[in-house]
Amino acid sequence: MRIVIAGGHGQIARRLERLLATRGYEVAGIIRREEQGDDLREAGAEPVLLDLESATVEEVAAHLQGADAAVFAAGAGPGSGAARKNTVDKGAAVLFADAAVRARVRRFLVVSSMGADPRHEGDEIFDVYLRAKGEADAYVQGLDALDWTILRPGSLTDDAGTGLVRLEAHTGRGPIPRDDVAAVLAELLETPATAGLTLELVSGSTPVSVAVKSIAGN
């Protein structure tokens, strides 16, 4: 099974790459800078050099050919301005989704954000971010050619993962280690019945595999 991850050098993406490689998957991560490649190789992933802010749908689709699933885990980052929230958090997500459709990759996961909403109001950078993420989510949700799952984690931390989470349509706010976000993403990829769900994720008391199987049955 081949999985392509956009934002391949991100903190969640590298954790996910390592998990998937350990499970025997063929993993490719899209990166913007060549010097990031060694980190991906160390995680067991193939680096793919491509700038999602300037690439065409055809160029991205070429790298998705033959993939079994695609994961959008890219982000402009906390130090970026409003313009890049729209070109990366929204624009690159839309491009990646369109490319997945073009390449006929049905399984599509999005790492979104708690509070993402296309109708979110406000002009602060974080307001723009939540609106951009919400608009991207809405776009993906409207694509019948994708078996999408949207994951909206709470406040991300670098604490060691516990493997215990709360995964529901609405959890309320709370923290979640990046380790556990990656673990949930890996489990979602292996659980096709979660297609069509938009889920919130925070730390909790349920083992990851149980939480994913439970939400898949709802």
Known catalytic residues are 129
Among 97, 178, 89, 166, residue whose Cα is nearest residue 131: 89
How is residue 23 written in tokens? 């499970």
* Strand-strand pairing, 69-72 and 26-31: unpaired
**Structural contact between residues 163 and 208, judged by C-beta atoms closer than 8 angstroms:** yes
Q: Which strands sit side by side in the sheet containing 197-203, from one edge to the other?
A: 46-49, 26-31, 2-6, 69-72, 107-111, 147-153, 197-203, 164-168, 206-207
| Angstrom distances, CA of residue 69 to CA of 5, 121, 156, 177 | 9, 33, 24, 24
Looking at the DSSP bridge assignments, the partners of residue 155 are 175
Q: In this structure, how many other beta carbons lie within 10 angstroms of the beta carbon of residue 15?
A: 22
**Structural contact between residues 30 and 4, judged by C-beta atoms closer than 8 angstroms:** yes
The one-character DSSP state at 54 is T
